[in-house]
Amino acid sequence: MAHQLLCSTSKLEKFVLSSVYKNTNMFQLRRYLTLMNNKNGASIMERVRNQWRLLCKEPPTGFERFFKPKDRASNKTGEKEAGKVKERSATESSKSHASGANAQKSSARDTNKQTFSWNFKTGNNSFGNKNNEKTYIIGFLLVGCTYLYLHYSITTTTEISWREFITKCLNKGIVDKVTVVNKQWVRVKLLPGQLVDGKDTLWFNIGSVETFERNLENAQVELNIEPQNYLPVNYRDELELHHFLKVLPQIAMFLFVSVFVFYFFRKMADTFGKGKKSGIFGPIMESTAKLINSKDIGVRFKDVAGCEEAKIEIMEFVNFLKNPQQYIELGAKIPKGAMLTGPPGTGKTLLAKATAGEANVPFINVSGSEFLEMFVGVGPSRVRDMFSMARKHAPCILFIDEIDAVGRKRGGRNFGSHSEQENTLNQLLVEMDGFNTTTNVVVLAATNRIDILDKALLRPGRFDRQIYVSAPDIKGRASIFKVHLQPLKSTIDKNQLARKMASLTPGFTGADIANVCNEAALIAARDLNDNIQLKHFEQAIERVIAGMEKKTNVLQPEEKRTVAYHEAGHAVAGWFLKYADPLLKVSIIPRGKGLGYAQYLPHEQYLYTKEQLFDRMCMALGGRVSEEIFFDRITTGAQDDLQKVTSNAYAQVIQYGMNEKIGNVSFQLPQPGDMTFDKPYSEYTAQLIDTEVRELIERAHNHTRNLLMEHKNDVAKVAERLLKQEILSRDDMIELLGPRPFPEKSTYEQFVEGTGSFEEDTTLPKGLQEWNKSRNGEKEQNSSKIPQPEAVSKSSSQNQPHQRL
């Protein structure tokens, strides 16, 4: 490549010089070159030409094998001259070095002999060993020199107009000759000794050659010049600067693309060559699974609460790997895998983090989406590489997060990239089923979409256990609050605060509880408080449930009055309905997308009767009925309430079998986003279902209307108080309406009464007392046994949950 570049540049030099010699007067050329003469020695052009000839003559260091030897005799002569300056060396390489030194010394004595150094330096970096960089620098220098030469040849002449040519040159008879260059402009050469504006060469543009010849002839006729004395007109094609500039972008783009492609492939080859697999796509095919260092994980099992059953299952898996003899002696086999399932935010990934941070076995982590790439075959290759890594580090735990990305059901409706996903799933099935009981590799996976996973992936032999991590109950929420309240600065007793917050947050997951604690700290810091108070936690709950409070959302007086009576209808209807949830707070300050907000305290309940569902429908219709009673019109504010009522009614008729005409049947309702092509029942049944749903909603509407007509004055009192204060608490409702006529539970002790204990049971089975310690022999096993601790009594309910980890 370097040889071709040098040959090309040599040809270009000869072409440029020959063009200059042909198209320029030799006398004037020597005159221009004399102006560039240096006082101390040879001219600039001479030195440049000598350097260039030397560059073309001697090959650069490292490129000798690309050049053909021209004349061995000249080399021998050079060696003899070098021997006169230095002693002859024994090796041939030292001879060449001596000849180079002789050449440098002779250059000091003779200014005509020039040398060329190949060790270009930029700062502290030398390009002596990087041949590609030298080639690029030579090319850029050549382009720059060519540009400067052409620019200089243009700037040495003066541009004039046609009229100036006639008046200053032709009329005075000082024109020697006229040359038409490239059929675009004319060079005017004056007689020796004649100057115009200090220059003896002028030029001007022309439109066309025919027009120029006609005008020149007419001008000479007007001057009475004889035809035999007409000015000679020559025509030439010369290399001009604009010709070079036309092709310069293409040349620059070609060089840029060539350099970019060359460096890209070289860097890619260097980078990919360092991987385990050779080739360009080697590292792409490797697994992205990471071996987790327990020191880098700050989560421990003491930081995981509210899912004690799942925690014990995970501890048992670690105990399988640390003490397999404990189970093999009884004939048990180590499970090959476990699937963590449950709603989002319940702590599935947190359990995996705690396992990685506390288990004394290697922990390998990977995400399910990392197996899906645009290249075909990458997914299966990564699966094989991942399990190969697991076998090398056995006994170990392999955790695949969000496995639903790669474990979806296989079917005929999959097109395009799904075929790659199926291949990856097939490889995963093969690798998991290929393990035997002696490999000591346990596979854990987490997902909240177990319904879309392939059945072959969930069968025993691959994932033997399915661990369901549900939303925590009130005891679990109290334990989670104790964990997240520890780093917070508050003067309140944290055990009592955790219990109270657990009773105020039914249905919250671990992620929601962590968000509530963080929001409380942010709210306290926003008001520059020294510590976090109870009101900050209550505001945080409202922020998480209903959204941010919009104090800048200004309502018109009529709209505000409508919202007040709407919320008052909900509050009064729920207050006098037996199975409605207890009311905690009602507000007409806009939050989130709603214009009003009511906070209730649902029961920890898993089974509902027809009467309970009916009262819930009536409470949801309280706002719409209140608008009908007090304003004799309805608004769009009840849209969300009507959706809840409709969903409740259809669930009773279709799913729960609570309708006499439909009977004890259950049809699955389509989920939001699901495509439904047909219904599992006939058109007659569909009409009957619609009729029964309308009758049920109408019955609930009439019941709510009768209730609010009976307590119309109470609705008005609550609405007027809302317009005055904007927020009503439970105490305000008791002041306005009196105590609720039905028994209700509102404290932590009332909710957990009759469940055995006030705190979550965190005791471990005997076999897991020292789950993370190896027991090499039977003697050590007997000595390491610890008696079962007693269950937590009611007297120790104030203490934090005790865990032996």
**Cα distance between residue 420 and residue 433, in whole Å:** 20
- Cα separation, 460 vs 432, whole angstroms: 11
Tell me how far apart the alpha carbons of residues 16 and 13 are, in angstroms, rounded to a whole number: 5
- Alpha-carbon distance values, 561 to 173, 558, 588, 621, 766 (Å): 104, 5, 9, 18, 64
Cα 220 to Cα 225: distance, rounded to the nearest angstrom: 5
Strand 396-401 and strand 441-447: pairing? parallel
Give the integer Cα–Cα distance in Å for 189 and 174.
9
- Longest CA span, the chain: 135
d(CA 780, CA 709): 77
Phi (first) and psi of residue 165, to 5 degrees: -60, -40
The one-letter code for the residue type at 299 is: V
Q: How far is CA 614 from the centre of its chain?
A: 48
Q: 728 — phi, psi (to 5°)? A: -125, 130
Cβ atoms of residues 623 and 586 within 8 Å: no
Give the CA distances from residue 495 to residues 490, 577, 682, 695, 762, in Å, rounded to whole numbers and listed in that order: 12, 34, 57, 49, 16
Q: Which of 590, 533, 503, 567 is nearest to 733 (CA)?
A: 567
Catalytic choice (420, 538, 567, 770): 567
What token pair was written down for 147? 């540009």
The pair of three-digit structure tokens given for residue 13, joined into one six-digit string: 């030099």
Q: How far is CA 726 from CA 245, 594, 628, 636, in A?
A: 76, 15, 22, 21
Angle at 682 between CA 681 and CA 687, to 5 degrees: 100
* Three-class SS state of 365: strand
Beta bridge partners of 408: 453
Give the contacts of 466 (CB within 8 A, at least 6 positions apart): 338, 339, 341, 450, 458
- In whole angstroms, give the CA distance from residue 56 to residue 417: 56
- Which residue bears the tokens 């003559």? 57
- Measure Cα distances from 651 to 591, 608, 658, 692, 787 in Å: 29, 12, 9, 12, 50
Q: Are 290 and 366 in contact (CB under 8 A)?
A: yes
Query: Which element (helix H / strand E) includes 698?
Result: helix 683-710
- State the DSSP H helix or E strand holding residue 386, giving kind and residue range, or none if neither: helix 378-392
Q: Is 567 a catalytic residue?
A: yes
User: Residues 801, 762: contact at Cβ < 8 Å?
Assistant: yes
Q: What is the distance of C-alpha 94 from the center of its chain?
A: 58
Question: Can you tell me the distance from the alpha carbon of 328 to that of 83, in angstroms, rounded to the nearest whole number?
Answer: 86
Q: In the numeric block, which tokens belong to residue 294?
A: 């327990």
506 token code pair: 């039914």
> Cβ distance 570 to 586 under 8 Å?
yes
Which residues are the active-site residues? 567
